[in-house]
């Protein structure tokens, strides 16, 4: 099915400019890249050219991740480092060149939005992220929302690690960017007398074989980053620290050799999953989720949270919480179907299936009549009908974005739950004879994987706060 709404996400780096067409589910459909440059006019021209190469009628907006200090609310670049775009009115000029609304934000904020929606920290609400590339970017999320302070919070690359260190682009001395970025790693290598062509993987290989010089380079690169991570943990008490960017994996590997310096400042540290794609994905998602000036609060299409799972999987409890906590109306197959079964006094299995299909269609008919911009929580086992039928219903209902909550439990647990509630359901629902079929269904049932996915094992204590934080990240108001 063609995507009804797309955006172009752009990630401005000190080395490369990346752009991609992004769907509302965070899927990359096409990408291009160009070399970056210190000249802001040259960078703007290359960005506009990439947009022209990627543009198509379905593209609704453009999101741009900008290195440095960005006031996202006022769409203003306040300062930059390796690429400083503060001297040009980036958003309005790009709008004039492309004819598309433009959203801008700090590049690491964009990357963290993508990671929370699709990557490693899915389900975590409080996350600190460092992006290690030409420089070091930073972003902080609390309760699933980016922390901005008065405008530009999250400049973690400028945590001080050495008051007598090198002068940073920001004007201060000894920021972690001066010691632990990709640029800094090149300086460490040069000072050690090694050739400029040596890769970080080669450094690790040499260190593991006993090369003292290579080990010293990695230590000099990673130890200040450990201090910055510990400082961020002390400040924000996150659930998770993410290391992203082109050198995120390498930084994670290097930090494994350098434990936290004090027991108070412990938090899990992981490499980000989306790598260099995080920036363009997050920029695209932000462009679809955040309005440009004069636009409505968000794209006018309706949205649906698909709370998916086979019978007795616990999905109704989860759907009820989401509806009550987020204020979104809830629709469920049984809510539509049960009044008919009660009025009819029951039904055989075949009629129950027919009624289920009709109820499924009724749900999406109700959604299609709702005001534009409404978000629904839909509770169903979506595998009971063909995927093509669901996509047709979504299209007809004007659903622009979906997020999926997948509820599951082992077959024996589902059997026990189903058996316990047999006397509580109206006549016409399958009885005890259905339980062996349910157990077999549990072995092969799978989520839709249509857009962002949150996995819920309902045999464990459900972290409803994590679900709410995740939804706020992937479906912001």
Q: What is the pLDDT of residues 104-130, one digit of tens each?
A: 999 999 999 999 888 776 667 789 999
CB-based contacts of 456-462 (< 8 A; 24+ apart in sequence): 456/314, 456/318, 456/405, 456/406, 456/407, 456/408, 457/408, 457/409, 458/309, 458/313, 458/314, 458/317, 458/318, 458/407, 458/408, 458/409, 459/409, 459/410, 459/413, 462/314, 462/317, 462/318
Which pLDDT value is given to residue 157? Answer: 94
Which pLDDT value is given to residue 298? Answer: 46
- CA distances (Å), origin 68, targets 49, 142, 144, 161, 284: 23, 21, 22, 19, 19
Secondary structure (3-state) at 422: helix
Q: Scan for tokens 């589910």, then name that residue.
A: 25
Which pLDDT value is given to residue 475? Answer: 83
Give all domains of the chain, ordered by start, each with its CATH number.
Answer: 6-110+279-289 (3.30.420.40), 121-272 (3.30.420.40), 302-474 (3.40.50.300)
Which pLDDT value is given to residue 63? Answer: 96
Which pLDDT value is given to residue 474? Answer: 79
Which pLDDT value is given to residue 122? Answer: 63
Q: Are 194 and 213 in contact (CB under 8 A)?
A: yes
Q: Is the pTM of this model over 0.85?
A: no
Which pLDDT value is given to residue 121? Answer: 66
Taking alpha carbons only, the member of 51, 55, 50 closest to residue 33 is 50
Indicate the angle between helix axes 411-420 and 435-444, nearest 10 degrees. Answer: 150
Biggest alpha carbon–alpha carbon distance for the chain: 86
Strand segments, DSSP code E, in 211-282 are: 240-244, 269-271
Q: Show the low-confidence residues of the chain (pLDDT under 50).
A: 1-4, 292-299
């Amino acid at each position: 099915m063609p995507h009804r709404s797309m955006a172009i996400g752009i990630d401005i780096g000190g080395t490369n400019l990346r752009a991609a067409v992004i769907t509302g589910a965070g899927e990359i459909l096409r990408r291009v890249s160009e070399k970056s440059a210190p000249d802001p006019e040259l960078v703007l021209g290359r960005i506009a050219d990439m947009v022209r190469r990627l543009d198509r009628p379905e593209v609704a907006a453009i999101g741009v991740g900008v290195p440095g200090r960005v006031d996202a609310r006022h769409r203003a670049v306040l300062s930059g480092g390796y690429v400083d775009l503060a001297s040009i009115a980036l958003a309005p000029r790009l709008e004039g060149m492309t004819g598309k609304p433009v959203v801008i934000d700090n590049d690491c904020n964009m990357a963290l939005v993508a990671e929370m929606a699709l990557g490693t920290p899915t389900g975590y609400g409080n996350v600190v992220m460092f992006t290690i590339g030409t420089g070091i970017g930073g972003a902080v999320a609390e309760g699933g929302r980016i922390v901005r302070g008065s405008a530009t919070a999250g400049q973690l690359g400028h945590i001080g690690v050495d008051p007598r260190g090198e002068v940073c682009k920001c004007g201060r001395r000894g920021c972690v960017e001066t010691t632990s970025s990709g640029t800094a790693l090149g300086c460490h290598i040069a000072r050690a007398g090694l050739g400029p062509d040596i890769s970080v993987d080669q450094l690790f290989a040499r260190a593991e074989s006993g090369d003292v010089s290579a080990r010293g380079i990695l230590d000099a690169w990673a130890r200040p980053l450990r201090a910055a991570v510990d400082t961020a943990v002390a400040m924000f008490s996150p659930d998770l620290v993410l290391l992203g960017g082109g050198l995120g994996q390498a930084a994670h590997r290097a930090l494994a050799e350098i434990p936290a310096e004090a027991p108070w400042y412990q938090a899990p540290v992981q490499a980000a999953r989306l790598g260099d794609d995080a920036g363009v994905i997050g920029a695209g998602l932000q462009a679809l989720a955040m309005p440009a000036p004069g636009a409505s609060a968000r794209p006018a299409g309706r949205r649906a949270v698909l709370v998916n799972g086979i019978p007795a999987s616990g999905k109704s409890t989860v759907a009820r919480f989401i509806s009550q906590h987020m204020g979104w109306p809830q629709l469920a197959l049984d809510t539509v179907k049960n009044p008919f079964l009660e009025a009819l006094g029951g039904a055989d299995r075949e009629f129950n299936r027919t009624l289920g299909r009709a109820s499924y269609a009724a749900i999406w008919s109700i959604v299609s009549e709702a005001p534009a911009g409404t978000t629904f929580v839909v509770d169903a086992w979506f595998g009971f009908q063909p995927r093509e039928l669901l996509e047709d219903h979504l299209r007809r209902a004007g659903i622009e974005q979906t997020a999926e909550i997948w509820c599951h439990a082992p077959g024996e647990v589902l059997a026990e739950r189903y058996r316990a509630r047999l006397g509580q359901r109206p006549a016409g629902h399958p009885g005890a004879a259905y339980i062996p079929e349910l157990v077999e269904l549990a072995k092969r049932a799978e989520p839709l994987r249509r857009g962002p996915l949150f996995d819920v094992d309902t045999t464990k204590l459900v972290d409803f706060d994590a679900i709410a934080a995740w939804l706020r990240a992937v479906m912001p108001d």
